[in-house]
Amino acid sequence: MSDANSRSNEQQRVDYVTREIEMKEEKLYSKSSGVKESVMDLRRNFWEDVTVNLDEPDDVIETQASIKQQSELLSERERTHGKISGELKTLSRLKDSPYFGRIDFTESPGNIKEQIYIGIASLMDHDEEDFLVYDWRAPISSLYYDYPPGDAAYETIDGTISGEISLKRQFIIRRGLIQGMFDTGVTIGDQLLQQTLGNNASTTMKSIVATIQQEQNKIIRNERSKLLIVQGAAGSGKTSAALQRIAYLMYRYRGELNPDNVVLFSPNPLFSSYVSNVLPELGEENVRQLTFQDYLQNRIEKNMTIESPFEQMEYVLTQADADGNAVRMKNINYKSSADFKHLIDQFVVHLESKGIQFKNITLQKQIIISSDEIRDYFYALDSTIAIPNKMELVLKWLLKELRKRQKSEKDKDWILERAELLDKEDYLKAYQENQEIDVDDPALEEEMLRSEVAKRIFAPIKKRIKRMEFVNVPATYRQLFVEWTPDIATQDWNEICDQTAENLLNRFLPWEDATPYLYFRNSILGADSSRSVRYLFIDEAQDFSEFQFAYLHDVFPYTRMTLLGDVNQAIFANTADGNPLIPGKVEEHHERITLTKSYRSTRQIVEFTSCFAPGKEKIEPFNREGFLPQLIRLNKKTELDQTLMENLRKLQDSGNETIAIICKTMEESHGVYTLLNDKIPVKQITEETYAFEKGILILPVYLAKGIEFDAVIIPDASIQSYSREEDRTLLYTACTRAMHHLIMISRAEPSEFILNTPRDKYEEKIM
């Protein structure tokens, strides 16, 4: 068959599938409008259809049952409407591009050739008997990603299905028209990738299931590993594969897995915004996305101030000469290690016999249960009981003591005085909760009001006790640094103790103390880990310390984890030691996958940045041609703002929509923003930026992690900015954000990382 006939036949099939989609849409629209009317009618007439009678106890029960029945009916209709809306959104996406791949597969033994078309969602014919399109996550679809024409096999619940692929074809379909069609081998064809990757950067990450590569498919469909470690070069598709892995797992375990069972730790709020559309595009709800800082902040006392990892980074980069810097760096070194975790464990053992600090329980500024009483009760308990279990026993004892105190306080004059201050609404509420009281009996009425007021006064005290607030965790943690002498500690222990004790007095936790503090808190109060989390994904995992990984393994002992990162981009202090991304011993049920090919940047940018990549991991460029990176040397007369504006105009005239001026620090970022703000439209990205927009963006390198831009300008690539070995990682990370253009500017001598790169890997210009 000629190519023209083949394309014509394929277009006819696209037209047929499009008509099927339109018919399904019509049916669903008709059904949807009926359900919507039903929902609106139920909402409008909710109380008219409920039997309300509160005269007798039996009538109250009947009323409650009637309300429950009507509420359940409304919820069922709303769920149905939501499901139909979701199906319509999927059909709308399919109508634009019904599928992107086809394989012809003959199962063994047999000679029946099946044409399998693969898209973002499954589509049945009008009789609901045959698949017109298979979901890319279906077991049979793995053939498309894993095999060239020839012998092939895929796994099902019932076992392995073997056979032969006689054709593997790819499509580019837009608005129901085939714009490109070609037959290909094992990897997704370069033509499709060239088109996908050659476009401008988007304000949101693209869902490109059509271009999943074989190695990425191993990540997506991995079901056996308890710990999956993905080391990937910059732009290798780690994050995209992770999100598609989530979508695959939600599909594979539909009915068992819901969005609350999956958590993704992302590096910053901007990144969360950047990837927020991927799962909805794949027909799945967004899972819980939060930063590790958010996770800690939600579990540490609200009156404690926690430094962010970016504030720590800014300190390390800008305060090298500040008083106390040497001690701070020792603090960061030690508290990032597993050694400090072992030291905390020793201290907790010490606390089994003495040292835990408690708070007084007060009422009306009067102590009703003293901290000494609580301490004596705690340490009188059996010493073999674990500290968190003892705390539970103390909690029960305190609530019991409070009930006694509440009963005695109820009869005091001040309680009656408070009762007289109740407003009308509170009176009515009290009566509703005590309907058996005879309101014509003044004595019974007074007793009811006294009980109600006492209950309200003691309720917040009981709530604080249930939250274990009778334990003074900060003061107890501080004992580790002021009272206790460990058997073995780092040689800088005394200096570390002085700085930490002062921070705790000010209720301040530097970033290096935040995780150890929460680990300690859990050790004496009990961990609050959610056993509902079945899958944990950590993006930019190279930025987690050895202590943080150890903590996560403690808190999520039964959770399957996927770690994604690049050791070449480990920009935070003391995160390399003990990081699982670094090759080492692989334990049972652990798997390591390395992605070496970079798809983000042009071949020229990848070859340039590979020359000074910090690690020894292999990096392969995808064969997409572009311009050589440019080094601009400024003479004394040329102003930085003039150079920046001239290059920004050229980049915009060339069609670049997202241009990032990536600085080393936030301090430098502020300076560049001040330089340009009154001259051209620019937007400064800070830690609090929650939305990614097109235009000219100015940001520090540590907020650019995981994001790509059409063009990147580094405003100060001098040896003064990038000279130390740890600066190599920062420069590499900044340069690898660029998709099409990379410009580096230096007034002084350029960084040696650039100058030591072969001269044919970049072009130099003097201005």
Binding residues for ATP: 232-239
Annotated binding site: 232-239
Torsion angle in degrees (nearest 10) through CA of 276, 277, 282, 288:
20
Residue 189: Cβ-neighbour burial (10 angstroms; 0-12, 13-18, 19+):
middle
Residue pair 552/296 in contact (Cβ under 8 Å)? The answer is: no
Residue 611 to residue 482: CA distance in whole angstroms:
49
Residue type, 539: D
- Quote the CA–CA distance of 28 and 527 in Å, as a whole number: 47
Q: In whole angstroms, give the CA distance from residue 704 to residue 700.
A: 7
Structure tokens at 423: 């407003």
3-state helix, strand, coil in the chain (%, to 5): 45, 20, 35
d(CA 762, CA 764): 7
Query: CA angle, 286 as apex, 694 and 563 as ends, to 5°?
Result: 90
Are 717 and 745 in contact by the 8 Å Cβ rule? The answer is: yes
3-state per-residue secondary structure call for 276-317: CCHHHHCCCCCCEEECHHHHHHCCCCCCCEECCHHHHHHHHH
Q: Which of 561, 567, 556, 511 is nearest to 538 (CA)?
A: 561
**Which amino acid type is present at position 440?**
D
All residues at 6 or more sequence positions from 610 whose CB lies less than 8 Å from its CB, including other chains: 619, 621
Pairing of strands 361-363, 366-369: antiparallel
| 36-66 burial code (b ≥16 CB/10 A, e <16) | bebbeebeeeeeeebeeeeeeeeeeeeeeee
Which tokens in the block code for residue 297? 């902040």
3-state secondary structure 533-548: CCEEEECCHHHCCHHH
At 330, give phi and psi (nearest 5°): -65, -40
Both structure tokens of 694: 């097109």
Contacts of 741 (CB under 8 A, 6+ apart): 626, 627, 630, 651, 654, 656, 710, 711, 712
Q: How many residues belong to the chain?
A: 767
Cβ neighbours of 459 (radius 10 Å): 11
DSSP 259: G
Would you call 323 exposed, middle or buried from its count of C-beta atoms within 10 A (0-12, 13-18, 19+)? Answer: exposed
- Do 201 and 273 touch, CB atoms closer than 8 A? no
Residues 6 or more apart in contact with residue 205 via CB below 8 angstroms = 239, 240, 243, 274, 275, 277, 278
